[in-house]
Chain A
Amino acid sequence: MAKKFIPFLLIILFTALSAPAWGKVYIDLAAPSQSALPVAVQEFRDLSQAPARDKNLSDSIKKELYDAIVTDLRFSGFFKVIDAKANLEDPLRSGLTESETDFKSWRAIGADALVKGGFLLEGDKLTVEIRFFDCVTEKLVTGKKFAGSAKNPRRIIHFFSDAVYGELTGKKGVFTSKLLFVSGSGGNKEIYVSDYDGKNATKLTRNRSINLAPKWSPDGQKMLYVSYKRGTPAMYSLDLTTGKDESLSSKPGINIGGAYSPDGSRVALTLSSERSPELFVLDLQSKEYKKLTDNNGIDVSPSWSPDGLRLAYVSDTAGNPHIHVLDLSTGNSKRITFKGKYNSSPSWSPDGRYIAFARSDSGRFNIWVVKPGGEGLTQLTFEGDNRNPSWSPDGRYIVYSSSERGGSLKIMRSDGTGVMKLDTGIKGEKAPAWSPFLR
């Protein structure tokens, strides 16, 4: 009846390791919800010494830890989390070991797996221990202890999730990756950074001007963005480790849509200092610009192929906005979309096999993917108005902006399933950019 947990993990491990092709990985790794394993999560237990315990702080840490682990488990696609209200075992009356766990009571609520944890608060130091049990064999699968700042309990959980994900799949997890996004209106838009799940959103720009189109440097240490802080749209680079800002391109006209090359040495962008908005590549060392397109139309939104040899971009040279791919060695462009009134914001997948983009026929956009040669066109979203796709560093997920609630962010698996709404606590989020692996 109940699936055996250990064999299940082995199956995941096996398929992950034996799946060299992207398509296969996304079928096997991004398990559809019906095959997800039911897991119960017990409330975290405060193991701090009684006199040092602050009830409010303790409760808030408990809640953050629980919420973060549940988010990570769901997001992984391997698990469906059983509502904590169903839990029968009293967290205060059980321990963190097998012998202190009444597995019968967990099996009774349908749990094949169980997560238990405790934490110890010593000043600002928060030590969290998490254990993962198989309810069928009644064995510990893995247990880990992490210590970090009590100011950010979620971060400790995300590190744990990365470690466990790595053990189970042999691949890097995205739980410690980040998102950049834009929010604001009426001549004031600022850029924010958040955890991958939208939490811990923090304002990055503070110049009270219009700030747009954030993009990560390949090492995750810098943010490229467009700002009107000096009057006209110019390109800046913010060092996220120091807060120092650098003006990268401020030619007359527009300096927009910048993207770092995969090796970080160049930036592709659109300039209109000549007669029309054209694509250029700026060499960050020599500060020299190389012109890539030359026409009387609009050429914007470059996205690099992971090997740095090609750029996907938007051009209206065909009469309306379409996705084109430019070969940097020959300078030749090839149009790869032929339908839709408006095709925009191309984003090349980390493995190079797909380009995600947004297409509209009616003013409402949806997310599609297409292969760089123009074949394999597939629609991923069907409802609402969805734009600005950006891939997770492992290529399993896509974050995008939806017009719901005046602008919000969503994540889906790269096959369009498993849509998850993000709650950043900030309104009107747009233009998300998923970071590379940050560790």
Chain B
Amino acid sequence: MKRKLLMFFPVLFLGLALATGCEKRIATEDFSEAAPAAQAPSTGGAEVAVPDESIKSEVVTAEDIKNTADAKIGGQYASLGSAEDLTQKAIEKGHLYTIYFDYDKYTVRESDMDFLTKNAKWLGINPDIRVRIEGHADERGETDYNVALGDKRARSIRKYLEDMGIGASRLAVVSYGEEKPAVNGQGEEAWAKNRRAEFVITAN
């Protein structure tokens, strides 16, 4: 019983004993098993204070929220709430085509030139229409590189259109890299559909 009791001596005292290299035990109270309350953590050394976590998250302003909402429907370029409808109609009627690219390439391929020419013609006879050309990449590459690749694709489309006589002021560009795939999934079939430049009408 005595041995057992000794095992439950307050750590505080034992800590002190340790610190002084002294094995003498001072029993002044009833240290029963039911009374571990007298124990307190101690090494006899100083207690080190751990500062509270201080990392703060982004403070989102009302302006940010509005900007983000605007960005989703065309951002600063949007003058019409129905831009998406207009774009949808133009696509259905065969006025605007999405242009597709080969892997890691940003030149328009021969087979897509016809579609790009059709887009140019329609924009030519509708001088009030403004578009945003959105460049995209498939998911295989790296994030940064894909944003740059989407940018190159959108810009190469804009260059063709400019060369065909469409004013640059009507042609905004944005790259989404791999962030907004047209279709989810892996494999060449999905990737081929995601390497693209889309046309979105922002004003008419």
Contacts and interface: CB of A to CB of B under 8 A. Distances in A.
Interface of A: 47, 49-50, 93-100, 118-120, 127-129, 131, 140, 143-149, 152, 155-156, 159, 163, 178, 186-187, 189, 193, 200, 202-210, 212-213, 226, 228-233, 238-245, 253-254, 256-257, 270, 272, 275-277, 298-301, 314, 316, 320-321, 342, 344-345, 358, 360, 363, 387-388, 430-431
B143 A97 contact: no
A233 B71 contact: no
Nearest to B175: A254
B59 A244 contact: yes
Contacts of B37: 49-50
B147 A95 contact: no
Interface residues of B, number: 62
B165 interface: no
A97 B13 CA distance: 11
Contact of B49 (A147, A242, A321, A358): A147
A229 B67 contact: yes
A95 B8 contact: yes
Contacts of A95: 7-9, 11, 14
Contacts of B147: 212, 226, 233, 254, 256, 300
Nearest to B142: A344
A99 B14 contact: yes
B92 interface: no
A146 B14 contact: no
Given A298-B145, A314-B145, A242 B56 contact: yes
A193 B55 contact: yes
A363 B140 contact: yes
Given A210-B179, A231-B76, A321 B65 contact: no
Contacts of A241: 54-56
Interface stretch (B38-46, B113-121, B122-130, B193-201): B38-46
What are the 9 A-B residue pairs with the smallest beta carbon separation, nearest first? Answer: A231-B75, A148-B50, A129-B41, A243-B56, A143-B43, A344-B142, A277-B148, A231-B71, A257-B144
A49 B35 CA distance: 9
A174 B43 CA distance: 25
A423 to B, nearest CB: 19
Given A256-B147, A431-B143, A276 B50 contact: no
Contacts of B189: none
Interface string B60-79: 10001101101110011100
B149 to A, nearest CB: 6
Nearest to B174: A232
A53 to B, nearest CB: 10
Contact of A231 (B6, B7, B67, B148): B67
B144 A256 contact: yes
Given A207-B58, A230-B67, A96 B148 contact: no
B64 to A, nearest CB: 5
A147 B45 contact: no
A147 B175 contact: no
A32 B180 CA distance: 43
A208 B68 contact: yes
Given A118-B41, A254-B147, 17 more contacts: A96-B11, A96-B14, A99-B23, A120-B41, A127-B47, A144-B43, A149-B52, A187-B72, A209-B68, A229-B64, A245-B59, A254-B148, A277-B152, A300-B148, A316-B104, A342-B140, A358-B142
B80 interface: no
B142 A120 contact: no
Contact of A129 (B18, B42, B58, B155): B42
Given A127-B41, A300-B144, A301-B144, A155 B57 contact: no
Given A149-B52, A229-B71, A47 B142 contact: no
Contact of A47 (B39, B48, B148): B39
A272 B147 CA distance: 11
